[in-house]
C-alpha cells in the first residue's frame, strides 16, 4: 500500500441512512443506524445499532422518519453529523 492510498481525499464525507428516534432537542435529532455484521467468533450475522446526534437546522425530521445524514465539522461535544435529506415519513 502506498502513501497516496492512505491519504484522505478532500470532499469525501461519510453518509449514513437511519431512523430518527428523538427530535426533542432544538435543532438536533438522534438517528439510529442499523448495520449487519458477522459475529467475530461464530460468524452468524448480527444486527448492531449506533446512535448519531445530527444537526437539523429547519426541524424537518420527525420521530420515525428515515433520513440521510452526512459528516460535518463538530458543532458540539457529541454532534458532528448533519441532516442531508428526509427520505421517507
Enter the DSSP assignment of 44: -
Q: What are the tens digits of pLDDT across the range 45-56? A: 999 999 999 999
CA-closest candidate to residue 82, choices 22, 21, 61, 35: 61
Rg (CA), the chain: 16
Could you read off the pLDDT of 68-86 as tens digits, one per residue? 999 999 999 999 999 999 9
Q: What is the pTM of this model?
A: 0.82
Which domains occur in the chain, in start order? 13-88 (2.40.50.140)
Amino acid at each position: 500500500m502506498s502513501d497516496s492510498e492512505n491519504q484522505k481525499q478532500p470532499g469525501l464525507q461519510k453518509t449514513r441512512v437511519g431512523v430518527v428516534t428523538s427530535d426533542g432537542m432544538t435543532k438536533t435529532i438522534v438517528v439510529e443506524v442499523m448495520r449487519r455484521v458477522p459475529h467475530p467468533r461464530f460468524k452468524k450475522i448480527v444486527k448492531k445499532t449506533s446512535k448519531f446526534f445530527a444537526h437539523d437546522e429547519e426541524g424537518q425530521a420527525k420521530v420515525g422518519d428515515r433520513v440521510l445524514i452526512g459528516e460535518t465539522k463538530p458543532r458540539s461535544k457529541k454532534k458532528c453529523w448533519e441532516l442531508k435529506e428526509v427520505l421517507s415519513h
